[in-house]
Amino acid sequence: MTRSGPPPKDPKMKRRRNKDLVESIELPSTPIGSVKSTPSVDPTWHSISRQLYMSYASSPAAAFFEPSDWAQLRYVCAFISSILYKGEYGADYPDEYKIGLDAVASTVSALEDFLTTEATRRRLRISIDPSKTIWSEPLPYWHELATDWFMSLRQSGQSMYYQSTDIAFAVLVAEIIHRHVSSGMNGKMMATITRACSLLLTTESARRLAQMELAKAADDSMDAHITSLMEEYARDI
C-alpha cells in the first residue's frame, strides 16, 4: 500500500516542542558573597529613587549582576529621579504634578530587567527563600487611596515572598498612584499602574498567572461581612 507524504522521522530524532528549556534557580534569602561593582548612590537623586537603587544591594538576585547591570540600573534610577522631581515643581497646579504616561510605562518595563519583583522572578524561574523584610512607612502626604494600597501589601499573603526590591518598587508605585489621583485620573495611566501592581501579585489573577497559591484561613468577620452584603442586596431587589 502506497502512502503519500514524507517518510516518518525516527522517534529518536523527534524534537519535544514542549520541553522546558528554562532552568529553575534557587537562591537563599541572603546575598551570596560580595555584590559586584555597586556604585554609591547619587545623593542628589529623589529619595524614592535612592531607596530603589540601594534595595538591589541587599537583594539575593544581585548575585547575578555584572558591572553592566549596575551601570544600566544607575541610568534607570537617574531617569526615575528626574521624572519625580519634575512632577514636584509647581505642585499646586495639577497639570504640573502629573508624571507622563510614557515615562511611567518605560520605568516599569525597564525595572523588570533587574529581577525587581516576585512576578518577574517567578517568570524567569528564580526562587528565593522567603525572609523577613523591612517595610517602609507610607509617605505622610500620600492620598488615602495610595496609602491604603501600600498598607494592604504587607497584610497580603504574597508579601512573604517580597524582597527589598519589591518593597522599594511598591513605594514608587504608591507615589505614582498618589500623583495620578491628585492630578486628575485618566484611563491609560490607570492601565499602566495596574500592570505595575500585577508585578507585585496584588490580584488573584496575577497570582494564578505566577502559579502562586495562598492558603486561606477561616475568617468569621469576612463571612459575616459577605452575609451582610447579601442580605442588603436581597432587600433591594
Q: How many domains does the chain have?
A: 1
Is 96 within a domain? yes
**Integer Cα distance of 237 and 233 in angstroms:** 7
Q: What is the per-residue pLDDT for 203? A: 94
pLDDT of residue 227: 59
Is 237 domain-assigned?
no
The answer to whether residue 228 is domain-embedded is: no
Return mean pLDDT, the chain: 80
Sign of CA dihedral 177, 183, 140, 109: positive
Does residue 72 lie in a domain region? yes
Identify whether 207 is part of a domain: yes
pTM of the prediction?
A: 0.76
Helices 164-182, 187-198: axis angle to 10 degrees equals 170
More confident residue, 215 or 155: 155
Q: How many CA atoms lie within 13 A of 36 on its CB side?
A: 11
Residue 44 domain-assigned (yes or no): yes
Is 38 a member of any domain? yes
Q: Hey, is 54 helix, strand or coil?
A: helix
Q: Would you state the pLDDT for residue 90? A: 47
- What is the domain extent for residue 134? 24-211
**Per-residue confidence band for 94, with pLDDT thresholds at 50, 70 and 90:** very low
